[in-house]
Chain A
Amino acid sequence: MKNIVFIPANSPLTKASFEVVSYARNLGGTVTVLAAGKLPSQDLSVLGTYGADEVIVNRSLVANDDQQITMWLANYCKEANNIVFSHDFNGKAIAPRLSVKLKAGFISGAIALPENDGSIKVNVYSGKAFGFMKCNTTQKIISLLPNSVAPEMSGNACGVTEVEETFGEIKVKVLSVKKPEGSIPLPEAERVVSAGRGLKGPENWGMIEDLANALGAATACSRPVADIGWRPHHEHVGQTGVAIRPNLYIAVGISGAIQHLAGVNGSKVIVVINPDAEAPFFKAADYGVIGDAFEVVPKLIDAVKNFRAN
C-alpha cells in the first residue's frame, strides 16, 4: 500500500498536519508527504515521528496555488492507493481538483479510520448524523476533519528532499494577507469558549476572551451575534457557520437552537452557562451551570487561574 499526504508548509506545522500523517500511517503501507512552501526542511523532518517515511517539499509553490499543486501532486500520485488531506482551507481547494484530475473517489470530511468493510465514517447533515462512504475506484482521496483522530507518534525524524517544480502561469495573484492577531484557528482548537446573545452587547466580550486565554482556548459565537456585528463572521459556529469538534466547548448565553447545536455537537465535552433552566442547550450538555454569565464567568476565570497556578 502506498499512501501520499499533502500538507501546507507556508507556516509552522500545526496539529492538523500531524493528524493526517498519523492517519495515513494507520492505513498501512508507506507514507510519503508532499509539502509546498518555504518551511525549513529541519521542521518538516519532524513528520517522521508521526509516521512519514519521507517528505518531498516543493519550494517553488505555495500551498494556496490549488491549480499548480494539483498538477504537481498528480505526477506523484499515479501509483498511490490513498491520498490524504486535512479537511482545511487547502484540502477543500485542492482535493476536489485532484479527484477530477485522477478520476479517484473523494471521501470528504472523514472522522475515523476505515471500518472493516472499507467504508469511512464522515460527518453529514452538519453534524446531525454520520455517513459511511465507499469509493468505487482503486485510488482513494480522503480529507480528514481536524480534531477527529488524535495523532500518534511512531518512528524517528525522516529525510526531506527539496524540489523546485512549477507548472506554467499562476492565475490567482495574491495581493495581501490579513491575519487576526494571536488567535488559534477555530476548526483546530482543542478548547473553545463561545458566547451568544445572552451577553447583551459586544462590550461584554472581555470576560469571554479572558476565560479563553486562561484555558488556552479559541473564541466563537452564535449566528445572531456575528450577524449584528458584535463579533467577526469567522467566529460564527453552527449549521451555517464553522463546524467544530473541540475536546471542550463552553457555551455562555447561547440558547442551543438546533442550528447552533448542529455545528458543535461533535465536541467531546460541552459546558453550558445559562440562567434559563429550560434552555435547550442543557439537553446537549455534559455539565451545566444555571446562572447569570456576569456572575459565573468571572468566578470560573478565577477558578481556572487558581487551578493553573497549582
Chain B
Amino acid sequence: MKILVCISKAPDTTSKIAFTEGNSRFDENGVQYIVNPYDEWYALVRALEIKEASSADITIVTVGNASDEAIMRKALAIGADEAVRIDAEPTDAYFVAKAIADFAQEKNFDLILTGKETINYNGSQIGGMVAEALDLPYISIASKLDVAGSSLTLEREIAGGVEVVQVNLPVVVSCAKGMAEQRIPNMRGIMAARTKPLQVIPPKNSDQLTSYVAFANPAAKSGVKLIDPSNMDELVSLLHNEAKVI
C-alpha cells in the first residue's frame, strides 16, 4: 500500500502568539516549530502502524520553504520512508491543497492522510480540498481506521455521535484523536532520517483564493472576581444578575 501523509508545521503549543508589520504577519521571533500535532500523532503514527501490520510505503509531503525541512526530518525520524517538499510559501488552503493534489495525481497513492486541522489556522480544509481535486471519497475527522485488503473501516465524528463507515481505496482521510498514540523518535530513527530521501519540487499552480488582511489578539480579561467557597448562592446570583448566563 502506498500512503501519503500531509504534514504541516505549527508553532509549538507554548508559543506566544504575536504579530508584526502592522499586525499583518505572524511574529516568528523566538518561535519553535513542531509538526502539527494532528498530522504527527494521528495521521503519521497510524500510517506507521499499518506499515508494521502488513506492509506499506509512507511518503510525507509538505508545502513550505527550506526551513520546514527540520520538521520533515522529525517525521522521517518517527518512521516515514521518504519526504517531498513542494517549494512554496503555504499562503492559502486552496493553493496548498492543489499543490498536494497535483503531486499526488501522478503517484497513485492508495491512502492520503491529513490531520483534522492545523493548530495555527484551524481551517479543516486541506483533506476535503485534496479529495475533491482528485475526485476521491473523503472521510473527515476519523477517530479509528482499520484496513482489510482494499477496503477501510473507519469511525468518524458526526453531529452528536460517531458513524462507522466502509469505503474502498483510494481515499482521503483526516485524522483525529483516538486513531493512534503519539510516538517519540528514537536515536536509530533520528540517524536513519538523515539519509532518507527528501525531494524538493516546484508547485504546478499558483492560484490563491483567500488571504489574511490582518490579525489581532483577544482582549485580556479585566480581572477575576473571587467568591467565598462557602457562599455558592452568591456565585449563582452573579451568574444570573451580572453575567446573565443562567
Enumerate chain A interface residues (CB-CB to B < 8 A). 8, 10-11, 14, 64, 66-67, 70, 87-90, 92-101, 103-109, 117, 119, 123-137, 171-180, 183, 185, 191, 215, 226, 233-234, 236, 239-241, 243, 247-248, 258-259, 262, 265-266, 268-272, 282-292, 295-296, 299-300, 302-304, 306-307
Q: How far in angstroms is the closest Cβ of chain A from B175?
A: 12
Q: How many A-B residue pairs have CB under 8 A?
A: 273
Complex: chain B residue closest to A247, CB-CB: B245
Across the interface, do A92 and B229 meet the contact criterion of CB distance under 8 Å?
Answer: no
Q: B93 near A108 (CB under 8 angstroms)?
A: yes
B237's closest neighbor in chain A, by CB?
Answer: A307
- CB A24 to nearest CB in B, in angstroms, measures 19
A88 to B158, CA, bound (A): 8
Asked whether, in the complex, the Cβ of B224 is within 8 Å of the Cβ of A105, the reply is no
| Residues of B in contact with A (beta carbons under 8 Å apart) | 11, 13-14, 17, 19, 37-38, 41, 93-94, 97-98, 119-129, 131-133, 137-141, 143, 153, 156-168, 177-178, 207-218, 221, 224-230, 232-233, 235-240, 243, 245-246
Residues in A whose Cβ lies below 8 Å from that of B121: 108, 124, 131
A191 / chain B contacts, CB cutoff of 8 Å: 245-246
Residue of A with least CB distance to B157: A89
Give the docked Cα–Cα distance between A108 and B121 (Å): 9
21 contacts between A and B (CB under 8 A): A93-B141, A95-B125, A96-B127, A96-B129, A100-B98, A100-B133, A108-B124, A128-B17, A134-B212, A173-B166, A175-B165, A179-B160, A180-B161, A240-B41, A240-B119, A282-B224, A287-B226, A287-B238, A289-B228, A296-B232, A307-B236
A278 to chain B, nearest CB (A): 13
A contact face: mostly helix, strand, loop, or mixed? mixed
In the complex the two chains form, is B209's CB within 8 Å of A136's CB? yes
A287 near B224: Cβ-Cβ < 8 Å: yes
Partner of B139, one of A70, A126, A134, A172: A172
User: Known pairs A96-B93, A292-B229. 16 more at Cβ < 8 A?
Assistant: A89-B157, A96-B124, A96-B128, A98-B132, A100-B94, A105-B94, A119-B213, A126-B119, A131-B215, A133-B212, A175-B166, A268-B245, A269-B243, A287-B243, A288-B226, A290-B229
